[in-house]
Amino acid sequence: MARVNPIDGEFFKSERTSGFNVIGTTVPRSDALGHVTGRTEFFEDRTFPDLAHVKIHRSAYHHARIDSVDISEASKVPGVLRVITYKDVPANWYTVLRLIGIEPNDEPVLAEDRVLYAGEPIVAVVADSEAAAIEGAARVKVGYTALPAVFDVEEAMSPDAPVIKQAGTNFFVYEGHHARRIRFGDVEEGFAQADRIFEWRYSSAPIEHAPTETTGCVVVPQADGRLIIHTNTQAAFFTLDNTALILDRPFTDLRVKGGTVGGGFGGKVDVMVEPLACIAAALTNRPVKFVYTREEEMQVSSPRAAERIYIKDGVLDDGRIVARKIMLYVDAGAYSRHSPYGTTKAAAHLPGPYTIPNVYADCHCVYTNRTPSSAMRGFGVTIADFAIESQMDRIARALDIDPLRFRLINAYRDGDMKAHRKVASGTALIEVIQRAAALVGHDLPEEYLALSSSTPGEARS
Amino acid sequence: MTLLHGRGYASVNYPTGMNLGGDPSQALIHATTTGGFVVTLSSVDLGQGLKTVVAQCAAETLGIPMENVIIDTADTDTGPHCMGTFASRGTHRVGNAVIMAAREAREVMLQVAADELEVDAGDLETDGTGYVHLKGSPDTKIHVQDVAMAAHFDQGKTISGRGIFLKERSYPVPETGEMDPDSCQAHACTVAEVEVDDETGVVTVLTLHNAYEIGRALNPAMVSQQIEGGAWMGVSHAVFESTEPYYPASRAHGPVDFCEYLMPGPAEIPAQTSVILERPAPNGPFGAKGIGEMTANAPIPAIANAIFDACGVRLTTMPFTPESVLRGLDALRAEGQG
């Protein structure tokens, strides 16, 4: 019998309807039995005759010019079928978000004359066996000239930093601005009104998705020339469209089959393995498998971005926050991937679930010489929530106000204008705070228990 | 050695969907000869139960038993477009598309049934058992299998439906950030209780108490699994994980396997107690909001705040390692001496 958390129907009673047959009931998950009995079929469970394998020779430098690439020894390894360089990639430069018009194409499938992070792919080796592919990749010889590397987001933004990106800036440019901006009210006037000012810094290190099943695919050439891609992607058409653009082939040449994912968490939306596997399959006319090793998954696949966040708050003695200024830096690593989008998502989330009349935010998508970061569960929000909710706790303590009452005083409600100028509706922050307080026996005074999200806030400055 | 106890709070909201590129998903439904209904998609079930929950949406809308619904998905040759499974969008977008397709198919199903029963389609209803019957006259009924057979072999009709959900693209205003990026917001408040060992710096998360407002719990057991699984990831982010332990100073020392990249094992999972609130979203499938991502978020600051409550150390960098706790305790002692 599945364990189920109780639903408290006392809240929002008038808005809830009932009378459903299967909605609201615990139907067993369709994949549960397969998972616990080991019968679920993942892409790697498919076997194909003559399956070939792809392995990658990766950059040994954080930032370097490539002076030479010698593949002669790799080609001589018994079992190696083909050595692939950027010259074999029809449209080598891409960015996954070009599907929604994001420019420029800032990342090569295989490096050309420079590398921007340690682990960047330079050469792909296709071989009869995994061992031969590993051996071939190890025998590739690359000559480098090391270039100065940038590892800190604020250093990267400084005018003195070496420019690592071809576009000319170490940050993504949002319609002419160096950051995704939020401008709401007048933040300086808010600080002037405030009784107290609090300013602190928060940061995080990169985090891996750590799926049980690493990122991978098997590509199988068909008799009619089409390629079937068996993959654990989180987004079938997104993968298909990006892959076809890189292959410079008609979209109808590709067929993506997936739907079973051994852990995604945002780590399988980057389209990292399918293009090279397709090129290898087309060049050798054999089924090809390209799957990350655990080490590649940990150190080369996109992590959750490290972030650095400065929050400056202006607060009245009664607990009302009247101004919040946030400087947020997302460490995108060497290439854009989904980071320009995630940084905008962060901006839309600010200043958190609170109604603050004056908000100012600059959210920077910054490039550094490390593994490109990208989407991960809570994209743009998880680290911001850590910063905002730590800030709320510190201010409550500094003002000697109960931490839940401090949140309730500032909680957003229906009809409030958010900082990105969308009117709030369907809010329920007040109610989850009230209910959590009850869960742990945290007493709230009557006037705080009487608050409601659907009642407009009164007399907020 | 002292084990110090503390409690911390965090309250958060989270957007359902993210339409900075337009955010569509489609569904097609058709009946088989014997009254099975195939829902055809290209969406990916990440293990969160998307196939199950959209099957519930189809069964509820069509008014047929769950056993009659077949989900066929994640093949780009056969399934219509889906943007992908991310941004807490799957249940909301795909659920809505399935409901729209099921409504269209239901309309045909009822018309076929009406012609078989020689009544008006508007007077028919379903009860979820597999029968279509006349309102107020339960004996005037026909089973969905017979409806499908009649459609295929007598009336020459396809019982089918098309559905799409599209939240149109929002372009942020560059100067102000004005935008309409999401469809609705879910809410959570988490209370964390921790124990801090002042000799080793190890933080143990003892309990998490959560209240979640999620619009509508379409499948309560899957809601519990989302909340508890996500909280596990939040605990892991808070006190264990990084691919760069000395970020940003050094790119070295990166873990390469699960011996070096630590995450909570069974002994480190806190006891969890959660309560669900429902404030249905007008644009959600039966009111549901997306909570796939947000369940990892509130535990992290709740744990940070609980650590401060326990030992007076304010940790501002994730993860909260034993080293950072001990350095914080040292700094407090130094201040006390100074």
B265 — contact with chain A (CB < 8 Å)? no
* Nearest chain A residue to B129, by CA: A21
Distance from CA of B156 to the nearest CA of A (A): 30
Q: Which of the residues A174, A199, A341, A432 would you substitute to probe the B interface, choosing the one with the greatest number of B C-beta atoms within 10 Å?
A: A432
Write the pLDDT tens digit of every residue in B102-154: 999 999 999 999 999 999 999 999 999 999 999 999 999 999 999 999 999 99
Q: Is A356 on the interface with B (CB under 8 A)?
A: no
Report the chain A residue with the minimal C-alpha distance to residue B247: A205
At residue A345, the 3 state secondary structure works out as helix
Contacts of A426 in chain B (CB under 8 A): 184-185, 215, 279, 281-282
Domains of chain B, by residue range, sit at 3-16+182-337, 23-167
Question: What is the arrangement of strands in the sheet containing A321-333, beginning at the earlier edge strand?
Answer: A180-184, A359-367, A321-333, A307-315, A196-204, B317-318
Q: Which residues of A touch B274 (CB under 8 A)?
A: 5
Q: Which residues of A touch B59 (CB under 8 A)?
A: 21-22
Q: Which of A6, A24, A254 sits opposite B275 (nearest CB)?
A: A6
> Which residue in chain B has the smallest CA separation from A311?
B316
| Inter-chain touch B189–A432, beta carbons under 8 Å | yes
Helix axes A382-399, A339-349, angle to 10 degrees: 30
- Which pair of structure tokens corresponds to residue B202? 């190890």
Portion 220-249 of B in contact with A at CB < 8 A: 220-224, 227, 230, 233, 237, 241-245, 247-249
Superfamily of domain A52-146+212-299: Aldehyde oxidase/xanthine dehydrogenase, a/b hammerhead (3.90.1170.50)
Task: Please state whether beta strands A121-127 and A80-84 pair in parallel, antiparallel, or not at all (unpaired).
Answer: antiparallel
Beta pairing partners, B3: B197
**Residue B57's closest chain A neighbor by CA?**
A23
Answer whether B243 sits within 8 Å of A208, measured CB to CB. yes
B328 touches chain A (CB under 8 A): no
A28 touches B: beta carbon within 8 Å: yes
Residues of A (132-161) whose Cβ lies below 8 Å from B: 151-153
Question: Please, are residues A22 and B128 in contact by the beta-carbon 8 Å criterion?
Answer: yes
Q: Report the candidate in A326, A374, A342, A355 with the shortest Cα–Cα distance to residue A419.
A: A355
Expressed in angstroms, the distance from the first to the final Cα of chain A is 51
CATH number for the domain running over B23-167? 3.30.365.10
Tokens of A172: 């993504």
Task: Judge whether B3-16+182-337 and B23-167 match in fold.
Answer: yes
In this complex, do A202 and B63 lie within 8 Å of one another by their Cβ atoms?
Answer: no
Query: In sequence order, what are the residues at sequence separation of 6 or more whose Cβ sits closer than 8 angstroms to the Cβ of residue A452?
Result: A413, A430, A431
**Are A177 and B219 a contacting pair at CB < 8 A?**
no
- For residue A347, the chain B residues in CB contact (below 8 A) are 172, 177
Q: What is the SS3 string spanning A18-50? A: CCCCCCCCCCCCCCHHHHHHCCCCCHHHCCCCC
With CA atoms as reference, the chain B residue closest to A403 would be B9
Instruction: For chain B, say whether A252 makes contact (Cβ under 8 Å).
Output: no
Residues of B in contact with A428 (CB under 8 A): 187, 213, 277, 279
Which amino acid makes up residue A54?
A: V
Summarize chain B as % helix, strand, coil (round to 5): 35, 25, 40
With CB atoms and an 8 Å threshold, state whether A237 touches B84. yes
Kindly state whether A371 is in contact with chain B, defined as any CB-CB distance less than 8 angstroms.
yes
**Cβ contact B300–A8 (<8 Å):** no
- pTM (whole model) above 0.95: yes
Give burial (CB, 10 Å; 0-12/13-18/19+) of A25: middle
Nearest chain B Cα distance for residue A11, angstroms: 7
- pLDDT at residue B183, rounded to an integer: 96
Q: Residue A318 has which token pair?
A: 């009664």
- End-to-end C-alpha distance for chain B, whole angstroms: 23
Tens-binned pLDDT, residue by residue, of chain A (461 aa): 677 999 999 999 999 988 999 999 999 999 999 999 999 999 999 999 999 999 999 999 999 999 999 999 999 999 999 999 999 999 999 999 999 889 999 999 999 999 999 999 999 999 999 999 999 999 999 999 999 999 999 999 999 999 999 999 999 999 999 999 999 999 999 999 999 999 999 999 999 999 999 999 999 999 999 999 999 999 999 999 999 999 999 999 999 999 999 999 999 999 999 999 999 999 999 999 999 999 999 999 999 999 999 999 999 999 999 999 999 999 999 999 999 999 999 999 999 999 999 999 999 999 999 999 999 999 999 999 999 999 999 999 999 999 999 999 999 999 999 999 999 999 999 999 999 999 999 999 999 999 999 987 654 44
Nearest CB partner across the interface for B10, out of A368, A389, A420: A389
Distance of CA B40 to the CA centre of its chain: 20
Domain residue extents for chain A: 52-146+212-299
Neighbouring-strand partners of residue B167: B23
Q: CA of A38: how far to CAs of A8, A30, A41, in Å?
A: 37, 14, 8
For B3-16+182-337, CATH number? 3.30.365.10
